[in-house]
Amino acid sequence: MRTTTVVIGAGHAGLAMSRCLAERSIDHVVLERGEVANSWKTERWDSLRLLTPNWMSRLPGYGYEGDDPDGYRTMPQTIAFIERYAERIAAPVRTHTTVISVRCCDGGYEVATDQGVWQCRTVVLATGACNLSSVPACAEAVPPTVSTLTSMQYRHPSKLREGGVLVVGASATGIQIADEIQRSGRPVTLAVGEHVRAPRVYRGRDIQWWMDAAGIFDERYDEIENIARARSLPSIQLVGSDERRTLDLNALTCLGVTLVGRLAGMRDGKTQFSGSLLNMCTLADLKMNRLLDTIDAWATDNGLDGAVDPPHRFDPTRVDASPLLGLDLQSGEIRTLIWATGYRPDYAWLDVPVFDLRGRVRHDGGVVDSPGMYVIGMPVLRCRRSTFIDGAGNDARDLSAHLASCLDNPNALR
């Protein structure tokens, strides 16, 4: 089979790219291992809601059409939103088509799938940033008496054994899981490393509204001081809820969650927690206050001070004077350990030498270091907004323009 462009992955990013390719009349297919919005259907916990408000989902030719722009989508709503987009743009999606390999061939790429082989001139990797759970090496040393699962496998507190739960990681994922498990009556210990703290609502507006309005999301990848760091930052500690509540470490402490330092090691069935908890919290508090300073300055410069609540600051994160440095996992106190230690993409099928020393795809704002290859739907790909559904549109417009110009110039392709 032959086409001009193969897009791999039918999530919001692959679909946005499909729409932009269609606008340019570029012949393409979108290959999807499962169904449209597959990861949202199969790899998320039950209660998860998007961290961005409904209005923040502007895609080429599509957007929020309901009457609750400030609400946060549930998973079924998110899936329906993406499915409707695929229908609306009549994307040429081939579902249940798993890519086995992508390799270079004369004039472009050969994409082998379990449903046949595609030849194409250009290829777009839209498989996302969260295919695999990143779990530290010490996971192997967890005693077998403790049930372990990743945040990708976790669904609901009722599926866990009674008893204590150690949640490792305090990004948006870790704090949300810790919150609902603690509320289910299972005492939670939360291992906290580097994290990003922010209030859900500041001066009466959603924090994402502020960052959108103040142009923070528009900061370009090639203007960010340390782009590798920006791309690997943990997600902001946020939760989507009807009451727009702030879920930070202080809120978890109030619920009775025990905070400990980053999980630094495992020895003789005992966990070793870093003594760095206080500094991790101090760093996050200071960083949050710098963000709020930026927002306040922007509000003043733009004459908003009268229209929104006055500036204020939040309590510093409360940390015990001597947080726990270890836990005996064999004592029976902890029955379940959940790795909320992040995700990484899975490119096991990508047989093209485009990887850096750390296994990341080398690319310049989504233009991969192999002619005619692109990546989309990754954190801070072309700007900070790229991290969100809302960022896929601009990225797809830019990258499809680049792709089209390469098609017009055979020397730019393989």
- Half-sphere exposure (CA, 13 Å, Cβ side) for 249? 30
By CB under 8 A, the residues from 305 to 334 that bind another protein are 322
Q: Nearest approach, Cβ of 276 to another protein (angstroms)? A: 5
Q: Is 279 in the site for another protein (CB under 8 A)?
A: yes
Indicate the residue among 119 and 289 with the shorter CB distance to another protein. Answer: 289
What is the number of H-type helices and E-type strands within the chain? Answer: 9, 24
297 is a site residue for another protein (CB under 8 A):
no
Whole-angstrom Cα distance, residue 179 to residue 157? 10
Q: Are 150 and 32 in contact (CB under 8 A)?
A: no
* By CB under 8 A, residue 106 contacts another protein: no
CB 93: neighbour CB atoms within 10 A? 21
Rg (C-alpha) for the chain, rounded Å, is 22
Please identify, among the stretches 181-189, 213-221, 234-242, 262-270, the one whose residues bind another protein according to the rule CB under 8 A.
262-270
Instruction: For strands 201-202 and 205-206, give the pairing.
Output: antiparallel
Backbone angles phi, psi at 377, to 5 degrees: 85, 35
By CB under 8 A, the residues from 198 to 237 that bind another protein are 225
Q: Which helix (H) or strand (E) holds 270?
A: strand 270-273
Binding segment (CB under 8 A) for another protein, from list 113-121, 155-163, 245-253, 274-282:
274-282
219 alpha-carbon distance from chain centroid: 18
**Which of 254/357 has CB closer to another protein?**
357
DSSP state of 185: T
Q: Considering CB under 8 A, how many residues would be counted as binding another protein?
A: 18
**Segment lying near another protein (by CB under 8 A), choices 85-93, 165-173, 259-267, 340-348:** 259-267
Q: Which of 253, 282, 294, 330 binds another protein (CB under 8 A)?
A: 282
Of 20 and 259, nearer to another protein (C-beta) is: 259
267 binds another protein (CB under 8 A): yes
From 137, 223, 254, 357, residue interacting with another protein (rule: CB under 8 A) = 357
Instruction: Give the position of tokens 């050969």.
Output: 110
Tell me 96's DSSP state. S
Spatial separation of the C-alpha atoms in residues 77 and 50, rounded to whole Å: 10
Binding string, residues 164-203; x marks residues near another protein by CB under 8 A? ------------------------------x---------
User: Would you give the distance in Å from CA 35 to the centre of its chain?
Assistant: 20
In this structure, the number of other CB atoms found within 10 A of the CB of residue 201 comes to: 16
Q: Which stretch binds another protein (CB under 8 A): 70-78, 91-99, 265-273, 387-395?
A: 265-273
- Judged by CB under 8 A, the stretch of 45-53, 73-81, 122-130, 281-289 that binds another protein is 281-289
Contacts to another protein by CB under 8 A:
194, 225, 261, 264-265, 267, 272, 274-276, 279, 282-283, 286, 289-290, 322, 357
